[in-house]
């Protein structure tokens, strides 16, 4: 059974987690989506909810549209299907956000910041329809310079625009894939659409559409396991049945842009495609008009595929070195968008680095221990991303003290840094497993990273705000982490001590009120996560890690300075 959103704030390790793009059980999914919107948030973030008189206001799920003029609201004689699709949905149940913009390609939509604005407003449970290609075949660097390189590879080309500005262009597939993946890692669902059909006829036949771009879009959908709607074939079939004269009346301006009637036809076909997706997930969001639309043939859509692993961030620019971070929810909480007012320091630390020189990739996963991050398969995927010269920050420990074997999470590790091991019949996975010490797992990360030519940095767990006689006490996991780092001769940042000393100075009441959401002592709010991130940067500078320091911005550690 497929579902769209992981409600659990901490992942249960050996359950098969399905990708956020997957469909099924629409009623249960809608209940989960609505619950997602009832999480508490800070006044200075956009987690999809708001607080009024300490009461949580439920926000509707959003459906975003990104694309070019064929989807944009447009003008009276050039109307995109995105303008007309609104009437097919019930505005009391879902909000339609049409961010499609005329004249844009996949490249310029990203480079102009339009995508950044869109993705910043996307939250778990939302949907994003993506359709580009009409303008991507234009000149790459001349004139409007909106063309992307052909294909779906990672190659890029540097060139000069007409005004002398330098620009790096990438492939069409790269830009589409980036949008899709960034939607996925925010817990939302991307759906790809092939292009609209132009009013071009030959020998009584309407054009097939841009086959190359449609195939590249489909290729990305298959690669990421996300849904795809072949809108080109659907429109072509309708236009062919209408014939040249009737279709020409749908295009009052030119052969690309439809008027109201044509846009409505295209919008109805998008709905037809959405209704053909497995589970008919949009059924309860539709207006009466939308419910009357007949689903298209299932051969014209590709359903999202089941994934065992939750999608995690990946390097944005393959040619740059990476700083990859692995850890638990204190590093990346849930989807990393501030749900429940909780943030991990790994989501904040990016702002201290020059992202034009290094990729900051926070692949921490809530609920995992040093053991289960490996056994669930996340470390193998992360290790594949590491290359010679990269950096790896490792911070586990909060979940390592849990039970070694139970039918709930089974994520604990043996205490210490030794070579002890214990064979178990894992009650959760129903498999035999050899469990090692906490330090053994840390040393495995270190050795694996070194074997790839990377520089590992071990961090102790950040302290919980649990005071004993007015003080934060040192963690035994911090000691074992340091022992593992020393044994492998790699840098160690004792966040438990650095942050703990600050907490002790400030006192329990102030720490809880300023750095943690209400009734929380483990997961920090935005302020607390920022302080923790600055402590990591402080540790990097204190260790004089020149190879990594050179990528830092000249940014003041303001919070740390004020609280110290």
pLDDT digits (tens, 9 = 90+) for 361-409: 999 999 999 999 999 999 999 999 999 999 999 999 999 999 999 999 9
| SS3 of residue 369 by DSSP | coil
What is the DSSP secondary structure assignment for residue 367, as one 8-state letter?
A: T
Residues in contact with 520: Cβ distance below 8 Å, sequence separation at least 6, in sequence order: 342, 465
- To the question of pTM greater than 0.85 for the whole model, the response is yes
Number of H helices, E strands in the chain: 19, 19
Q: pLDDT value at position 555? A: 84
Q: pLDDT value at position 60? A: 86
User: What values do phi and psi take at 51, rounded to 5?
Assistant: -105, 130
Mean pLDDT of 338-352: 96
Give the integer Cα–Cα distance in Å for 429 and 432. Answer: 8
Q: pLDDT value at position 485? A: 98
pLDDT above 70 for 6: no
pLDDT above 50 for 12: no
- Other C-beta atoms closer than 10 Å to the C-beta of 375 total 20
Q: pLDDT value at position 31? A: 32
Model confidence band, residue 59 (pLDDT cutoffs 50, 70, 90)? low
Tell me the pLDDT tens digit for each residue of 181-240: 999 999 999 999 999 999 999 999 999 989 999 999 999 999 999 999 999 999 999 999
Residues in contact with 334: Cβ distance below 8 Å, sequence separation at least 6, in sequence order: 6, 9, 124, 187, 340, 342, 366
Tell me the pLDDT tens digit for each residue of 251-300: 999 999 999 999 999 999 999 999 999 988 999 999 999 999 999 999 99
Q: Do domains 26-302 and 322-563 have the same CATH topology?
A: yes
Q: pLDDT value at position 20? A: 35
CA nearest 321: which of 387, 381, 379?
387
User: Average pLDDT of the chain?
Assistant: 89
Domain 322-563 fold is Rossmann fold (3.40.50)
Mean pLDDT of 344-355: 97
Model confidence band, residue 48 (pLDDT cutoffs 50, 70, 90)? very low
pLDDT above 50 for 1: no
Mean pLDDT of 87-104: 97
Where do we find the tokens 């005004």?
163
Q: pLDDT value at position 564? A: 67
Helix (H) or strand (E) holding 35, with range, is helix 26-36
Domain positions in the chain? 26-302, 322-563
Architecture category of domain 26-302 in CATH: 3-Layer(aba) Sandwich (3.40)
């Amino acid at each position: 059974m497929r579902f769209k959103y992981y409600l659990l704030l901490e992942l249960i390790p050996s359950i098969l987690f399905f990708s956020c793009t997957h469909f099924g059980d629409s009623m249960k999914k809608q209940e989960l989506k609505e619950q997602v919107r009832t999480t508490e948030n800070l006044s200075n973030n956009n987690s999809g909810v708001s607080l009024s008189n300490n009461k949580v206001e439920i926000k509707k799920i959003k459906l975003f549209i990104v694309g070019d003029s064929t989807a944009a609201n447009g003008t009276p004689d050039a109307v995109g299907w995105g303008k007309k699709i609104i009437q097919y949905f019930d505005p009391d149940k879902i909000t339609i956000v049409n961010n499609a913009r005329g004249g844009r390609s996949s490249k310029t939509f990203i480079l102009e910041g339009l995508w950044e604005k869109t993705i910043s407003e996307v939250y778990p449970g939302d949907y994003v329809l993506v359709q580009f290609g009409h303008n991507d075949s234009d000149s790459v660097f001349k004139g409007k310079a909106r063309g992307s390189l052909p294909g779906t590879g990672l190659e890029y080309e540097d060139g000069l625009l007409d005004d002398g500005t330098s620009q790096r262009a990438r492939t069409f597939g790269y830009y589409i894939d980036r949008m899709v993946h960034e939607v996925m890692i925010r817990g939302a669902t991307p759906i790809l659409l092939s292009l609209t059909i132009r009013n071009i006829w030959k020998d009584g036949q309407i054009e097939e559409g841009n086959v190359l771009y449609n195939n590249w879009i489909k290729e990305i959908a298959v690669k990421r396991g996300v849904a795809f709607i072949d809108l080109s074939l659907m429109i072509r079939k309708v236009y062919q049945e209408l014939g040249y004269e009737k279709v020409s009346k749908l295009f009052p301006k030119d052969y690309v842009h439809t008027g109201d009637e044509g846009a409505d036809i295209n919008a109805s076909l998008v709905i037809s495609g959405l209704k053909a997706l497995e589970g008919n997930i949009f059924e309860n969001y539709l207006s009466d008009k939308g419910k009357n639309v007949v689903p298209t043939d299932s051969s014209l859509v590709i359903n999202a595929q089941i994934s065992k692993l939750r999608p995690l961030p990946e390097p944005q620019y393959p040619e740059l070195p990476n700083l990859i971070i692995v850890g638990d929810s204190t590093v990346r909480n849930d989807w990393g968008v501030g749900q429940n007012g909780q943030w991990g320091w790994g989501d904040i630390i990016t702002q201290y680095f020059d992202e034009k020189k290094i990729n900051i990739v926070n692949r921490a996963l809530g609920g995992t221990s040093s053991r289960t991050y490996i056994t669930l398969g996340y470390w193998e995927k992360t290790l594949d991303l590491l290359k010679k010269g990269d950096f790896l920050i490792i911070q586990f420990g909060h979940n390592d003290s849990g039970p070694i074997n139970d039918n709930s999470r089974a994520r604990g590790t043996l205490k210490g840094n030794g070579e002890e091991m214990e064979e178990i019949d894992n009650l959760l996975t129903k498999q035999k497993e050899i469990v090692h010490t906490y330090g053994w797992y840390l040393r495995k990360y270190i050795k694996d990273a070194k074997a790839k030519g990377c520089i590992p940095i071990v961090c102790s767990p950040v302290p919980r705000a649990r005071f004993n006689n007015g003080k934060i006490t040192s963690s035994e996991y911090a000691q074992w982490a340091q022992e593992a780092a020393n044994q492998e001769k790699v840098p160690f940042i004792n966040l438990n001590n650095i942050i703990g000393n600050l907490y002790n100075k400030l006192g329990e009441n102030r720490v809880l009120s300023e750095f943690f959401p209400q009734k929380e002592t483990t997961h920090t709010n935005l302020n607390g996560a920022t302080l923790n991130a600055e402590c990591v940067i402080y540790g990097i500078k204190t260790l004089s890690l020149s190879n990594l320091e050179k990528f830092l911005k000249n940014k003041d550690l303001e919070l740390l300075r004020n609280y110290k």
